[in-house]
Each structure stands twice: as C-alpha cells, then as structure tokens.
Structure 1
Amino acid sequence: MIKNYFKIAWRNLTKHKAYTIINVGGLALGMAVALIIGLWIQDELSHNNYFSNKEKIAQIFQSQTFNGETGTGPAIPRPLEKAFRDGYMDNFKHLVMSSWSNSQYLKYKDISISREGNFMQRGAPEMLDLNILKGEKDGLREVSSIMLSTSTAQALFGNEDPIGKSVKINGQYDMMVTAVYEDIPYNTSFRDMAFLMPWEKYITIQEWVTNAEDQWGNNSFQMFVQIADNTTMESVTSAIKDVKKNLNEDTVEFNPQLFLLPMNDWYLRNRFENGKQVGGRIKYVWLFGIIGIFVLLLACINFMNLSTARSEKRAKEVGIRKSIGSQRGQLINQFLGESFLVVLFAFVIALLIVILSLGGFNELARKEIAFPWTQPAFWLVSILFILLTAVLAGSYPALYLSSFKPVDVLKGTFQAGKHSGLARKALVVLQFTVSVAFIIGTVIVMQQINHAKNRPVGYDKEGLVQLPTMSPEFYGKYELMRNEFLNSGAVVEMSSSSSPTTNIWSNRSGWTWEGKPDGFQEDLAWTDVSPEYAKSLGLKIVAGRDFSREFASDSTAILLNESAVKYLGVENPVGMIFRDSDEENPGEPLTVIGVVEDMIAQSPYEPVKQGIYAFDRYDNASYYNLRLNPKQSASQNLAIIERVFKAHFPDVPFHYDFVDSEYGEKFAAEERVGQLSGIFTALAIIISCLGLFGLTSFVAEQRTKEIGVRKVLGATVFNVWNMLSKDFLKLVIISCFIAVPIAYYVMNGWLQEYPYRVILKWWIFALAMIGALLITVVTVSFQAIKAARRNPVKSLRTE
C-alpha cells in the first residue's frame, strides 16, 4: 500500500513539472532559510559551551547610581578581592582577579608578534578547564611564567618545543613558557586570549595596580568566579550585594550593588538599563527565529494553496478511490505521503543550498559555523523537521481533498462552491502580510543605521590613523616621534591620547568646584592628551582656547566638551577650577581653558558622554594619533610611517588602525542584522511570488475557455489582464493594511532601545505598500498577459 502511495505521488509530481518545480523550489528555499537560521541560533545559544564549568562560572558586576541614573558594568575595585577572600570564600570554588584583555608584543629570538591576553590569578586555567596540550595545568604558579595558546606558540617557536623557553614581553621583562593550551574556540568570550600571565606579575610591573590595593573608588579591574558546588548564583549574589557599601563609606553615596552575571548571560543577556537586566543579543535570536518560522510558513502556504487549487484535477481520482472502498484515512495518508515526498526532495535541495551558502553567510554574520555532518542530533532534528514540515504543508490539502463526495464527483456535478477559494485567499493575505512587514522592518533597520552614520562625528576621521603604544619603550619619546613623523612628510599632524579615538577608557568623579550643587554626583569621562590633540583630530574649539606649549600653566589645564558644560549646568565654564575632593591627596587644581565641540567616542546611538581632556604631563599615552598627508596615497604614507617606526622600535610589531574603520565597527552588529534581514526578506518575497505565480498560472488555465470567449467578443489584452489580476491585487492591498500597523508597533518598540533614533515616517510604509503591489503586478502580469495573448481559437478547441 505504501509503495502504491509513493508510486502515485511520483507520477503526479513528474506529470505536472511546473507545479512540482514551484512547490519543491519554494519549499527548498524556505527550508534552507530555516536551516541556516537554525544553525546560527544553535551557535548563539552554545556560546561558551566550550567551558565545562560554564554553569558555575560568573563575573562580578556592580551597579552604581549617579544623580538618579544607575549604570552597570563589570569594572570593580581591587580591594574587593581581599574582602571576598576574608569573609566569603565559602561561596566560591575559584576567585580570579583579571586585567582587561590587552595587546602585548611577544619576542623570541628574531620573531616578534602582537597578541591579546590577560594577567590572571593562578586558578584561571582550572576554572576555565583549559585543554593543556603541553606543560602543566598549574602554569601560573610562578611569577615569571606564561601560558600560550597553540597558535601563539606555533607563531613564536614553529616546530620547537616551547616549554621552558623564554619570551620577552614588550621588550621589558622575560617570561618562561610553562604550558601550551588548545586555542579557545571562536564562539566564546575568551576567543582572543592568546596568552595568560600571572596576576602577581601585573602587580609588580604596574605601580598604579600596586597602589590600587586599598582604593575602593578605582574600578579598573575584573573578577571572575566559580561558585561552590553547594550554592546558587542567586544565593551568592544575595550574600555579596552590599559588600562594597558596607566596607567603604566613601562609596555609599553611589549605592554600589554587587551581583554575579552568569557565564550563560555574558553574550546574550549583557545589556542593562538603570540597573536592570533588559536583554542583549537574545533579541536577535528571537528575531531571526521568528523570521525562520515565517519564511518556512510562507513556503508551506505555497504548497497548501497550489495543492487545493488543483483539487478539481484530482476530484475524479478521489471519487473512484472512494467508490471502490478507500477510507478517508487512507486518502489522507496518500496525500500526506505525497507531501512527504515533496518535502524530502526539497530538504535535499535545501541542504545543497546551505552547504554552498554557508561560507558567505559566515563571512556576513562573522561566524565560524561548520556544517554538522557528524552530529547525530542534527540528523535526528532534521528528520523531525522533515516530518513536521510535511504535516504542516500537507495536512490541509489532505483533509480538503479527502472530503470530496464520490457520487457528486463521478456524476460530474461536483462544484468547489463559492467559498472554496476563501482559505486560499486567506493564505495569500497571510503570505503578503508577512512579506510587507519584513520589507518595512528591513527599511527601518537600514534607516536607523544610516541615521546614526550621518550623525555629526565631531572630528575628521578620514585620513586619521592610530598606533597603539603597547610598550614602556614608547614612554618619554612622544616629542621625538612627532618630529620624526612630521619630518618624514607622511604625517601633517600628530598627537597622543590615553584612550583610542573611538572609545573612552577612564571615568572619574570626586571633584569640587565653585557653585557645585549640594548632592551632585559627577561622572566624567577622562582622557589625557597631548597639546596637538584637537588639531590632529580636527576638533573645533567653541569657547576659550586650545592647549598651547607657549603657556607653562597649561600643564594643569583642561578642556571640557559641550556635553560636560550642559551636564555641569554652567554658562561660562572658561576659568572654572576643579579640585580633587580627596583631602589627603588633593592634587593640583585644574583650570578650564576652553570648550571643545562634542565628538562621538562611544556608541553613535547614545548621547555623547560629558568629558574632560587633560594635558598629558607624563608622556605615557596609549595611542599616537597621526593625520596622514592628503597629498600622498595612504599606502605611500603608511610605508614611510612604518620605516620611521621600525627605525626607533625595531622589535615592536608595526600595528595601526584607520579611525574611520574603527568607527565603522560601531555599526557592525546593526548592519549585520540589516543585511541578513534584507536577504531573508528578499527570499520571503521570492517564495510568496512563486506561490502567486503558480496560482495565477492555474487560474489562467482554469479560465481558458472564458478567456477565449471574451477574446472572440472583442476583449483586449488589458481587459483580460485586469480580469485575472484584480483579485490578487485586492488581496495584497488587504495584506498591506494588516501589515502596516503590526510593523509600526514592532519597529517602534525596537527603536525605543536607541536614545538617538530615526523618526518613523509615513513614506516608509507607503513605499513598502507600493513595492508589494508592484511585485504582485509583475508576478501576475507574466501569466495574465501570456493567457490574454493566446489565440482564442486554440483556447476554445482545448475545451
């Protein structure tokens, strides 16, 4: 019996090739989208799965309140470690202090490479359960030890055994290789950790870290923990939340609240608003999951529509089968079998599409997803996926076709009824509602990205290059390097800064000034800069003056940005004096000499943060900012810059970043969402059009005689086109009016996450509606005009 079902199904598929191509092609596209999105979601949800202790690992976060606004982040003070070790170690199996991940240059013999890594405490390798390939797990035991990733060891030592060899770090100190660990996979939070060095070394080489031992207000460190086996994240958070507030009176006014952020949430749920966890990338998982379901649903709708539309062609078959004893259940099984066969073919084609497109998708989505050939779970899910899709796509046609009455069919009195096409119309409306909503959503996403991109940056980022000064070798050499670069002709201006142009690395509070309101809790971004900073970046001084080397007093001068002036609530800030509120170490008073125009250093979707630019008196900045000579090509300039750089720092790897490229990275996540949404929207439209094309073809075939009669009676091509097209256009218009309010509601909610956002305008929705109608007209017109141009004599003979 089952063999008979499949034989008949195969005959029907091969007999109606165009119908089969549309059905299989549409399903294949829908399934391919669903598969790719499924692989992407699986990769997102499996982030950090590499770490066997994932469920017990967390990072210490803290929330602090400034003037009624609560900010949350992972930066914590160093004294917190002692507080936890003294009174709370029952809650932890491992407690690991860590630096931020920074680039260092590593040298062995004549080979120098730049890599990112961390200084961490001894328990880090065990907590992260690193896969040690050579050496010892306890590789951070000695203060002068270093653990290297496999690729880093290979780059430095080639085929030599690295264990016991000495590596010079930043030309400053030697470290002995004690272990080589497996490269940490891409879909983890530690994927760039190419080396590990002991926390104790960090303390010995950085005086400010040593001094921070009892500084509760210096939030410059990270702490990772593995909680004890008999505890939970919630109970530990409850125990530690007020530790900082209880142990340090100076921070009480900011109401610091400590909590654990589980490793499970680092990637997908790391966004906070006013102290509350509000999500993160998990919204994209939901978004693309919904898109995948809807695109697959559109493909299934095509199958339902075309199967039910062609029902009259199989009415006699159903009648004969019923008259010779076939039960309705047997007919349902037969039609579901046909559905399964179509879905199986479509799945094979979908696999080919996925395999061929996975490389491009990885590049676009910045992923390293591999096709899971060897994973039994994938094939099990695929079988369930095929069965579910077959039932979803074939259930309605099977129930509909099996319901025909054999007497009516065989007598020739069977009529589908005036409401028989109602379900098909509803499905077409659903298809285009989804497609129009996708169009609107994609347009708004791209609008938001362009809105932020077109926002004034505040400085000239074109032709601006930044070089990291990753070694003490650079300290005290700024004037020398500036003269060398300017004399080379490749650079027209140069400055230094303690933060990159596209970020803020330091925030400070604890200042007093004349007229400061009682209870005002300031939070100011802080950047140390050389006097040429504004000139090299093209920043505009809007009040007062810029730094000048001609004034010795400028060593204690500062510039405010426009946001800081508004934040402080002063009308004329030039001449203001800032004093440190720390009475024991007050430092020198700082005088405001000017106001600089706001520049975007953090997110282009957020307001510019209030900030201070201070004269760098110590010449130990983190970056050189070089304005390239516009009269020469960038490649010429960089070749000259590298030559000058290597003449003074022969062992330091030459590394640079174009500021405009770094700034562009701030849009990367949204742009990827926009591009992927655009691709999926285009596929949704193609699938919908395939179904519409098939339905139009069938309607034209069904009305062949009517078209012939109308042509004989003088109907024009336009008349016939209008007759066949108007019903479909009505359905699409209905879809538009359903899709617009839904899309408005969803996208307006999405935009609320961005303080700097585009305003939804009517033309976006109108454009999507017009686009949908044009697509419908083009799709329907092909078959309609083809039918209208057919010779009426031949049309009538076919009857």
Structure 2
Amino acid sequence: MLTNYFKIAWRNLTKNKGYTTINIGGLALGMAVTTIIGLWVEDELSYNDHFEQKDKVAQVWQSQTFNGNVGTGTAIPLPLAPALKESYGDYFEELMMASWTFDAYLKYGEKSISRPGNRMQPNAPKMLELQILKGEKDGLREINSIMLSLSTADALFGEEDPIGKVVKLSNEYDMMVTGVYKDIPVNNSFHNTDYIVPWDHYVANAEWIKNSLDNWGNNSFQLFVKISDNVTFEQVTKAIIDIKKNADEEIAQYDPKIFLLSMEDWYLRSRFEDGIQKGGRITYVWLFSIIGIFVLLLACINFMNLSTARSEKRSKEVGIRKSIGSQRGHLINQFLSESFLVVLFAFLVALGIVLLFLNGFNELSRKEINFPWDNPLFWTFSLLFVVVTALLAGSYPALYLSSFRPVDVLKGTHQTGKYSGLPRKILVVVQFTVSVAFIIGTVIVMQQINHAKNRPVGYDKEGLIQIPTFAQDFVGKTDLMRTEFINSGAVVEMATSSSPTTQIWSNRSGFTWEGKPDGFQEDLAWTEVSPEYAKTLNLRIVEGRDFSREFASDSLGVLINETAKRYLGMENPVGKFIIDDDDEDPDPPMKIIGVVQDIIAQSPYEPVKQGLYVYDREDNFSYYTLRLNPKQSAGQSIAVVERVFKEHFPDIPFEYDFVDENYGEKFASEERIGSLTGIFTALAILISCLGLFGLTSFVAEQRTKEIGVRKVLGATVFNVWNMLSKDFLKLVVISCFIAIPVAYYIMNGWLQAYPYRIILKWWIFGLAIVGAFGLTVLTVSFQAIRAARQNPVKSLRME
C-alpha cells in the first residue's frame, strides 16, 4: 500500500513539472534558511560547551552606584579573592585570579611574535579544563614558567620540542615553557588565550599591583570561581553580596554588590541595565529562531495554497477512488505521501544549498560552523524536521481534498463554495504580513547602524594608526621616536596614550573640585597622554588651550572633554583645579588648561563619557598614535614607519592598526545581524513571491476561457491585468495594515536597548508598503499580462 502511495505521488509530481518545481524550490529555500539558522543557533547555544562542568563555573561581577546610576561589570578589587577564600571557602571548589587578556611579545631565537594571553593563578589549567599535549598540567607553579597553545608553540618552535625551552616575554623576562595545550575552541570565552603566565610573576613585576593587594577601590582584575557541589550560584551570591561594602567604609558609599554570573550566561545574557540582568545575545538567538520558523512557514504556505488551488484538478480522482471503496484515511495517507515526497526532495536540495553557501555564511557571521556529517543527533533532528514539515505542509491539503463528496464530483455538481478560497487568502495575507514586517525590521536595523555611523566621532580618524607598546623597551624613547618618525616624512605627528583611541581602559573617582556638590559620586574616564595627543588626533580645543612643552607647569595640567565640563558643573572650567582626595597617597592638584571636543571612545550607541586627559609624566603609555603624511599613500608611509620602528626595536614584531578600522569594529556585531536579517528577509520575500507566482499561474490557467470571452468582447490587456491583480493587491493592503503595528511594536522595543537611537519615521513603513506593492505587481503582472496576450481563439475553440 505504501509503495502504491509513493508511485501515485511520483506520477503526479512528474506530470505537473511547473507546479512541482515551484513547490520543491520554495520548500528547499525555506528549509535551507531554517537549517542554516538552526546551525547558527546551535553554535550560539553551545558556547563554552568545551567545559564539562560549566554549570558550576562562574565569574565574579559587581554593581556600583554613582549618583543613582548603577554600573555593572567584571572588574573586581584584588583583596576580594582572599576575603572570599577566608570567609566563604566552603562555598568554593576553586578560585582563580586573572588579568585582562592582552597581547604580549614572545621571542625565541631570532623569531619574535605577538599573541594574546593572560596572567592566571596556578589552578588555571584545571579551571579552563585545558587539554595538555606536552609538559605538565600544573605548569604554572614556578614563577618564571609559561604555558603555550599548540599554534603558538608551533609558530615559535616549529618542529622543536618546546618543553624546557626559554622564551623571552615582552622582550624582558626569561620564561621556561612547561606545558603546551590544545588550542581552545573559537566558541569559548577563553579562545584568545594563546599563552598563560603565572599570576605571581604578574604581581612580582608590577609595583601598582603590589600596591593594590589591600586596596578595595582599585577594580582592575578578574576573578573566576568554581562553586562546591552542595551550593547554588544564588546561595553564594546571597552570602557574598555585601562583602565589599562591609570591608571598606569609604567604598560603601557606592553600594557595591558582589555576585556570581554563571558561565552559561557569559556569552548570551551579559547585558545589565541599572544592575538588573537584561539579556544580551540571547535576543538575537530568539530573533533568528523566529525568522527561521516564519521562513519555513512561508514555504509551507506555498505548498498549501498551490495544493488546495489545484483541488478541481484532483476532484475527479478523489471521486473515483471514493466510489470504488477508498476510505478517507487512505486518501489522506495518499496526499501526505505526496507531501512527504516533495519535502524529502526539497530537503535534499536544501542540503545542497546549505553546503554551497555555508562558507560564505561563516565568513559573514564570523563563525566556524562545520556541517555535522558525523553527528547522529543532527540526522535524527533532520528526519524529524522532514516529517514535521511534511505534516505541516500537507495536512491541510490532505484534509481538504479528501473531504470531497464523490457523487457531487462525478455528477459535476461539486461546488467549491463562496468561501472556499478564504483559507488561501488568509494564508497569502500571513505570507505578506511576515514579509512586510521583515522589510520594516531590516530597514530599521540598517537605519540604526547608519545613525550611529554618521554620528560625529570628534576627531579625524582617517590616516591615523596605532602601534602597541607593551614592552619596557619603549620607556624613555617617546621623544626620540617622535622625532625619528616625523623626520622620515611618513608621519606628520605622533603622540602616546595609556588607552587606545577607540577604548577607555581606566575609570577613576576620589576627586574634589570647587563647587562639587555634597555627596556627589564622581566617575571619570582617565587617559594619560603626551602633549601632542590633541594635535595628532586633530581634536578641537573649544576652551582654553592645548598642552605645550614650553610650559613646565603643564605636567600638572589636564584637559577635560565637553561632557566632563557639564558633569563637573563648571561654567568656566579653565584655570580651576581637580584635586586627588586620597589622604594616603595624593597626587598633586591638576589644573584644567583646556576643554576638548567630545570624542567617541566607547560604544557609538552610548552617550560620551566624562573624561580627563592627563599629562603623562611617567611613561604610562600603551600605544603610539601616528598621523600619517596625507601627501603620500598609506602603504608607502607604513613601509617607512616599519623601517624606522625596526631600526630601534629589532626584537619586537611591528604591528599596527588603523584607527578607522578599529572604530568600524564597534559596528561589526550590529552589521552582521543587519546583513543576515537582510538576506533572510530577501529569501522570505522570494519564497512569498514564488508562491504568489504559482498561485497567479493557476488562477490564470483556471480562468483561461473567461479571459478569452472578455477579449472577444473587447477587453484590453489592462482590463485583464486589473481583473487578475486586484484581488491580490487587496490582500497586500490587509497585510500591510497588520504588519505595520506589529513591526512598530517589536522594533520600537528593540531600539530601547540603545540610548543613542533613531526615531521611527513614517517613510520607513511607507517604503515597506511600496516595496510590497511593487513586488506583488511585478510577480502578478508577469502571468497576468502573459494570459491577457494569448489569442482567445485558442482558449475558445473547444466551445
């Protein structure tokens, strides 16, 4: 019986090739989109699955309140770890202090490379569940040891055995390689940890860290924990939440709250607003999951519409089969078999599409998704996917076609009824509602990105490069290198800074100034710069003057940005002082010598933070910032810069970044989301138009004789086009009325996550309406005009 079902199904499919092509093509596109989205979602949800016990690992976070505004982040003070171990040691199986991840120079023999890594305590290999390939698991127990990832070891040593070899770290410290571990997977929070240096080495060689051992106010470190089996994250958080507040009376004014954020939430749910967890990338997981479901639904709707529209073609078949004894259940099985066959072919085509475009999708989404050929779970889900899709696409046509009464069909008295086409119309409305909503959403996402991109950055980022200076070799050579670079003709100006231009690495409080309100809790971005910083960036001085080497007093000067002027409440700030309020180790008072234009150093979607630019008196810089000579090509200038750099730092690899490219990275996540959304929207529209094309073809075929009679009676091509098009255009109008409020509600909610955002304007929705109408007219017109231009003699000769 089953074999017979499939034989009949195959004959019907091959008999109606155009109908079959549209059905398989539409379903294949829908299933391909859903499969790719499914692989992307699985990759997102499997982030950090490298850890077998990720449900027990957490990072210590804290929230602090400044003037009623709650800020939340991962930075914690150094005394927190010993305090937790002493007072709540039973709650933790492991505690591990860590620095921030940053690049370091690694040198062996004549080979020198730069790699990102970390300073961690000796239990890091256990906490990170590293797969040790060579050497020891506890390779960080010696202060001058270092552990390397396999790719880093290969880059430095090639075929040599790295264990026991000495590597020069930052061109300053001799470190012995004690372990090589397998590269950490990309979808892992520690994937860019290519080397690990002992925490004790970090403390021993940095005076500021030693000074932070008892300082609860210096939030410059990270702390990772693994909780004991008998407690939960909530229980631990409840116990430790006020530990920092209780430890330091001065810090208590900021109401610090210490809590644990589970590893399962690091990637997907790490966004906080006013101290409350508000999601994160999980929003995009839900977004794309919904898109995938709707795209598949659109493809299934095509199948339903075309199957029910062709009901008259199959009515006699149903009547005959029922009259010779077929039960309704047999007919339902027959039509579901056809559906299953179509979906199976569509799935095979979809797999081909996925394989063809997976590399491009990976490049666009910055993923490393591999097709899971050897994953039985994938094929189980695929089979389930095919069956569910077949049932979803075929259930309504099967129930509808099998309901015909054989007597009426065979006597020719079967009437489809006044409302028989209503379900198809409803499905078309659903299709175009989804498509219009997708169009609106895509336009709004791109508008928001462009809105932030077009925001004035406050400086000239073109022709600006940054060179990292993470080694002692650079100390004391700033003036020499500035002179050398400028004399080379490749650079017109150079400055140093403690943070890159596109980031803020340090925030400080504990200052007082004239007119400071009682109880005011300041939070100021802090960047130490050389005197030429504003000149190098082409920063506009709006009040006062820039730093000058001609004034020795400028070493105690400070520039503030426009936001800081308002934040400090100073109407005429130039000449006033900002005083360090630290009684134990106060810095000299800083005199405000100028106000500079605001620059975007953090997220372009956030307000500019109040900031101080402090004269760097002690070479606390991390970057050279160079303004390239605009009179020659960037390539020429960089080649000269590299030559000059290598003359003075032959043992350090030359690396640089264009500031405009770094700034562009701030939009990368949103742009990827926008691009993917745009592609999926285009495919959704294509699927909808494909279904509309098939439906229009069938309607035109169904009304061939009517069109012939009308043409004989004098109807023009426009009259026929209008007759076939108006019903579909009415459905599009209804779709727009439904889609617009739905899209407005969803996208307005999405925009609320961005303080700097667009205002939704009518033309965005108007554009979507025009687009929907245009696509409908183009799709319908092709078949309508084709039908209208046919010779009526051919359609009426049998009458």
- Deviation of the 1:481 alpha carbon: 0.4
- Deviation of the 1:418 alpha carbon: 1.2
- Deviation of the 1:239 alpha carbon: 1.2
Distance 2:164 2:84 in 1: 34
Match of 2:764 in 1: 764
Residues 528 and 620, structure 2, Cα contact 8 Å, conserved in 1:
no
- Deviation of the 1:620 alpha carbon: 3.2
Residues 436 and 735, structure 2, Cα contact 8 Å, conserved in 1:
yes
What amino acid maps onto 1:62 in structure 2? Q
Match of 1:269 in 2: 269
What amino acid maps onto 2:419 in structure 1? H
Residues 95 and 225, structure 2, Cα contact 8 Å, conserved in 1:
yes
Distance 1:209 1:787 in 2: 81
Match of 1:575 in 2: 575
What amino acid maps onto 1:506 in structure 2? S
What amino acid maps onto 2:7 in structure 1? K
Distance 1:49 1:145 in 2: 28
Match of 1:209 in 2: 209
- Deviation of the 1:128 alpha carbon: 1.4
- Deviation of the 1:89 alpha carbon: 1.2
* Aligned pairs for 1:679-698 within 5 A: 679-698=679-698
Distance 2:189 2:463 in 1: 32
- Deviation of the 1:797 alpha carbon: 2.4
Match of 2:134 in 1: 134
- Deviation of the 1:103 alpha carbon: 0.3
1:227 aligns with 2:217: no
* Aligned pairs for 1:704-783 within 5 A: 704-783=704-783
Distance 2:372 2:216 in 1: 49
* Aligned pairs for 1:194-343 within 5 A: 194-343=194-343
Residues 53 and 129, structure 1, Cα contact 8 Å, conserved in 2:
no
Distance 1:455 1:127 in 2: 42
Distance 2:14 2:470 in 1: 68
Match of 2:369 in 1: 369
What amino acid maps onto 1:49 in structure 2? D
| SS of equivalent to 1:641 | helix
Residues 98 and 118, structure 2, Cα contact 8 Å, conserved in 1:
yes
What amino acid maps onto 1:70 in structure 2? V
1:387 aligns with 2:387: yes
| SS of equivalent to 1:118 | strand
| SS of equivalent to 1:755 | coil
Residues 79 and 213, structure 1, Cα contact 8 Å, conserved in 2:
yes
Match of 2:501 in 1: 501
- Deviation of the 1:645 alpha carbon: 0.3
- Deviation of the 1:86 alpha carbon: 1.5
- Deviation of the 1:795 alpha carbon: 1.1
Residues 515 and 569, structure 2, Cα contact 8 Å, conserved in 1:
no
| SS of equivalent to 2:558 | strand
Residues 53 and 128, structure 1, Cα contact 8 Å, conserved in 2:
no
Distance 1:189 1:520 in 2: 37
| SS of equivalent to 1:226 | strand
What amino acid maps onto 2:174 in structure 1? D
Residues 429 and 734, structure 1, Cα contact 8 Å, conserved in 2:
yes
Distance 1:362 1:732 in 2: 35
Distance 1:360 1:139 in 2: 40
What amino acid maps onto 1:232 in structure 2? T
Distance 1:385 1:644 in 2: 61
Distance 2:113 2:251 in 1: 42
Deviations 1:664-704 (A, max 9, x none): 00000110111001000000000000000000000000001
Match of 1:70 in 2: 70
- Deviation of the 1:584 alpha carbon: 2.0
Distance 1:795 1:718 in 2: 19
| Count of matched residue pairs | 799
Distance 1:643 1:528 in 2: 27
Deviates more, 1:227-236 or 1:675-684: 227-236
Match of 2:530 in 1: 530
Distance 1:462 1:587 in 2: 36
What amino acid maps onto 2:524 in structure 1? L
- Deviation of the 1:415 alpha carbon: 1.3
Distance 2:515 2:736 in 1: 58
1:594 aligns with 2:599: no
- Deviation of the 1:798 alpha carbon: 5.4
Distance 2:477 2:457 in 1: 30
Match of 2:413 in 1: 413
Residues 605 and 755, structure 2, Cα contact 8 Å, conserved in 1:
yes
| SS of equivalent to 2:514 | coil
Match of 1:433 in 2: 433
Distance 2:51 2:649 in 1: 39
Distance 1:798 1:363 in 2: 59
* Aligned pairs for 1:19-30 within 5 A: 19-30=19-30
| SS of equivalent to 2:521 | coil
| SS of equivalent to 2:721 | helix
Residues 53 and 127, structure 1, Cα contact 8 Å, conserved in 2:
no
Distance 2:654 2:586 in 1: 40
Matched residues, percent identical?
Answer: 73
Deviations 1:338-378 (A, max 9, x none): 00000000000000000110000000000000000000000
Residues 466 and 657, structure 2, Cα contact 8 Å, conserved in 1:
yes
What amino acid maps onto 1:479 in structure 2? D
Deviations 1:587-633 (A, max 9, x none): 21111011000000000000000000000001231001000000110
| SS of equivalent to 1:543 | strand
- Deviation of the 1:49 alpha carbon: 0.3
Distance 2:578 2:565 in 1: 13
Cα root mean square deviation, aligned: 0.7
Residues 271 and 278, structure 1, Cα contact 8 Å, conserved in 2:
yes
* Aligned pairs for 1:28-39 within 5 A: 28-39=28-39
What amino acid maps onto 1:163 in structure 2? I
Deviations 1:81-109 (A, max 9, x none): 22112111111111000000010010000
Match of 1:188 in 2: 188
Distance 2:128 2:226 in 1: 9
Distance 1:551 1:350 in 2: 71
Give the ranges of 4+ consecutive aligned residues of structure 1 lying more than 2 Å apart after TM superposition.
none
What amino acid maps onto 2:244 in structure 1? K
- Deviation of the 1:53 alpha carbon: 2.1
Please give the TM-score of this superposition, normalised by the length of structure 2: 1.00
Distance 1:236 1:344 in 2: 51
Please give the TM-score of this superposition, normalised by the length of structure 1: 1.00
- Deviation of the 1:229 alpha carbon: 1.6
Residues 599 and 608, structure 1, Cα contact 8 Å, conserved in 2:
yes
Distance 1:636 1:529 in 2: 27
| SS of equivalent to 1:575 | coil
| SS of equivalent to 2:250 | helix
Match of 1:671 in 2: 671
Residues 144 and 201, structure 2, Cα contact 8 Å, conserved in 1:
yes
Deviations 1:34-74 (A, max 9, x none): 00000000000000001122111100000000000000000
Give structure 1 stretches of 5+ with no counterpart: none
Give structure 2 stretches of 5+ with no counterpart: none
| SS of equivalent to 1:758 | coil
* Aligned pairs for 1:463-474 within 5 A: 463-474=463-474
Distance 1:719 1:186 in 2: 61
